[in-house]
């Protein structure tokens, strides 16, 4: 009989692959190669890779926190840390330094 992989493992495998790709794009040699192929500046690739890595790591912490809710304090702390990491990773997208308008 075929053994099924639990759903939480599928989520963690997906998050792990996304995190691996984002961390690979943080390497300067990979950034320059991707930059020359896609004609996107290397600084932009690095910024998006850092944002995606932060979101993926935060999502992994939230997922592990949900799985660890058998010990409520540990699970709650992991969920809060994951949400804080996601907020920290996404914050530069909403923090505008340009003064447009009045």
pLDDT in tens, 49-102: 999 999 999 999 999 999 889 889 999 999 999 999 999 999 988 877 755 544
Domain boundaries, the chain: 19-94
Contact assessment for residue 82 and residue 62, using Cβ atoms and an 8 Å cutoff? yes
* 3-state SS class at 83: helix
Q: Is the dihedral of CA 21, 27, 30, 32 positive or negative?
A: positive
Does pLDDT of 6 surpass 80? yes
pLDDT of residue 94: 85
Does pLDDT of 30 surpass 50? yes
pLDDT of residue 102: 44
Q: Once rounded to an integer, what is the mean pLDDT over residues 1-21?
A: 86
pLDDT of residue 55: 94
């Amino acid at each position: 009989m075929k053994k099924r992989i639990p759903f939480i493992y599928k989520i963690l495998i997906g998050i792990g692959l996304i995190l691996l790709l984002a961390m690979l794009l943080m390497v300067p040699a990979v950034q320059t190669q991707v930059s020359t192929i896609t004609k996107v500046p290397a600084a932009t690739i690095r910024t998006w890779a850092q944002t995606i890595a932060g979101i993926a790591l935060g999502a992994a912490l939230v997922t592990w926190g949900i799985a660890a809710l058998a010990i409520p304090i540990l699970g709650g702390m992991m969920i809060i840390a994951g949400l804080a990491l996601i907020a920290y990773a996404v914050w530069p997208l909403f923090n505008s330094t340009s003064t447009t308008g009045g």
